[in-house]
Structure 1
Amino acid sequence: MPWWKIILIALAVKITLLFLIIVFLAQKEVPAEITYGMSFNTMYATELGLDWKETYDALLNDLGVRHLRLAAHWPMVEPVDGVYNFVELDYQIAEAERVGAEVVLAVGR
């Protein structure tokens, strides 16, 4: 079989597969309601040279964010073995509660 026929067949197969994928994805139902939110991380805000409290308050009050993912980095929560510091996290959760925001807390290193 000539090389150009092999290339033509391969191209036809790829186009057919692409078409089938597009048709399959087009059949998916779009949810009636999509909920968007934001992640907030005091460590990253500080690294960017921002005051994390001002930034967090602006997200809640100015932007009206009501679905939050907060990051609790364990080295910040427990800077020394057996010594815990929940001040930042307590503030964030209290402010979210004050405005009626929902919080997902991610704990990690």
Structure 2
Amino acid sequence: MKILKTSMLAIILTFSAGAIGNLAYAETSTDSPVAGEVISHIESALAEIQNSDFNTARVHLKAARAAAEKISGHDDVVQAANALVIQGQIKTKGGDIKGSSDDLNKAIELYKSL
């Protein structure tokens, strides 16, 4: 009887560990497409900034900020990256190509860390 109880306990623990592992994997996989979308918009904005097309760059930056709101978890990293995107928007509006590019590159690195 003791062997049966021990075997059942081991089986239950194995199944529960497997279920928890799958849930953790599913949570991380849902964030990466959204972060990829944000990075894509920021990279498009950087390309437009280099071409001095600031209006199109601002459209991409607005889309990046809207997509970033869908990212769940990692609130401190997302908040810091969003602050850099906002600073990049402000510098883009002022025509500061180098400053906005620096801020947006830093934001991309933060989003890639997700």
Q: Same fold (TM over 0.5)?
A: no
Q: Which protein is richer in helix relative to its size?
A: 2
Q: Decide which structure has the larger Cα Rg and report it.
A: 1
The normalised TM-score by structure 2 is 0.28
- How does the TM-score come out when normalised to structure 1? 0.29
More strand by share: 1
